Structure formats: C-alpha cells, structure tokens
Amino acid sequence: MEKKKKAILVVSFGTSFHKTREKTIDRIEADIAAAYPEYTLYRAWTSKMIIAKLKRRDQIVVSTVAEAVDQMIVDGVQELIVQPTHIINGIENDLMKEDVLARKDAFEKIAFGAPLLTTTEDNVEVLHAVMSEFPALAEDEVLVFMGHGTTHYANTVYAALDYTFKDLGYNRTFLGTVEAYPSMESLKKQLKALAPKNLILAPFMVVAGDHAIHDMSGEDEDSWRSQFEAEGYQVSCVMKGLGEYEKVRQIYLEHTEAARKSMEK
C-alpha cells in the first residue's frame, strides 16, 4: 500500500529582522519539524510587503501561502496540516485559510491548527507561560505588554487578556495594543492609579521586530517608551518575542497535534 505524502505548512506574518526570526519563527518551525519527522515542513508568510523587502534587500525568497500550496501540489503532498504562528484568529488567519482552501480539491485531507490564542484555556496557559519567565515585580514596578491590535472583531481578546492578568493574580501587569484597544491612553489612566516608579515594556507579539524596535522601544517621541518617560516613569525594555518562550512554543505544538488528530477522525 502506497504511503501517503504528508506535509506541515507553518504560516507566519513574517519579519525582516533576521536575529528575531532566528529566535522565534525558526525555532517554532524547528520544534514542529522535530516532533513530526514523517512530515515535510514548508514555510509561508502572509506579509507580501516583508516578502518583497527580503527578496529586494537580501535576495531571500519566502513563499506566500498560495505559492507554498502550489509547490506542495507539485511535490505530491496528499495530507496537509496548516499551523499558523498567528496570535489570534484575525484578518491574516482568515486570508490564509482562504488561500489554502482555494486549492482544497488537490489534497486528500487538510487540517488547520489553531492560532496561539483560540480558547480561554489558551489565554490562561499563554499568560502563565510568559509570566513564568519574569521575576516578581517590586511594589514600585509594573509590566506593560504591547500587542499589535486589529480592526477584526477578534481584537476583543486583548482586553480579555488584560483582565485575565489581574484575574490570575498579576495585578501589576497590563496589556495594550499599538493599533486598537486597549490603547496607550487607557494604559496611562490605569497606571496612574498605581503610581509606579519603574515600568518594564515587553512585546506581546511572536517576534520582537519592527513594532518592538520602533513603536515600543524607539527614541521617537511617539514610541511607548518615550510617552511613558514623558509621564515620569523610569522605563526599561525587554526585547523578547513570544516565540522565544519555550512554553509558548509548546502551545503551538499542542495545536499542531490537535490538528493531526482531527485528520484521523
């Protein structure tokens, strides 16, 4: 009986910063490849702008989702697991699914792994995973995470996460977003009530890339660091993407395994 050709397509937004990619996207892909040696691993990114930049600047070619799917068809893949490294079920994840399902007839089986934050259990597990790598905060200290934010209705997860931090006992930890709610203005109001002296900033994104380098820790007066310093806080930045946390990468593996099991039904 002929053995089915199986593949796992790992889909990320992408980054043009090589050092953070090596510590995050590359590590997630390596973990998945090691866990599933019988599957061929493929990579695709959803940001066409970053793909074009890498090709122009570094002569590095990364496939779009559609291109990766076409290549897998040429390679004779019959059973496909798609695991996104996306944080939420937002716009990028919806578009990725559309691109894959447009060629669904070319495969015998397709299963999608869930993004990082899909269930309430995921939310709790991820927050514990991240906080386990931070030392306890002093009385005059707060920790503020910067999420991306989106116009998609899935953005509600960020406010839920901010609430969940407090519900789990992390009363001096906050989560805001660059492009949506909770905003910088809402963070400023919440922090005033605690009146901390020291503020730690960290990205709540898979990679510590453009947003972390410019919008979070940059020297520009609009960066979160500059805005918080203008409020009188002593600010330090932790440049560590979620993909660098081993326990977070483990959650992506759990989602991949759930997708694999769903194909057996």
Give 214-228 as a DSSP string: IIIT-SSTTSHHHHH
Cα angle value 166/167/168 (rounded, 5°): 90
> Which run of H or E residues covers position 122?
helix 120-131
Active site residues: 148
Using CA atoms, how far residue 126 sits from 3, 132, 147, 254, in Å, is 37, 10, 14, 12
- Cα 246 from Cα 233, distance rounded (Å): 31
> What is the DSSP annotation of 163-197?
HHHHHTT-TTEEEEESSSSS-HHHHHHHHHHH--S
Which residues have a Cβ under 8 Å from the Cβ of 154 and sit 6 or more positions away?
88, 89, 90
Q: In which residue are the tokens 């559309």 written?
A: 98
C-alpha closest to that of 194 among 227, 222, 232: 232
Q: Residue 179, Cβ neighbours under 10 Å: how many?
A: 13
Q: Are 198 and 137 in contact (CB under 8 A)?
A: no
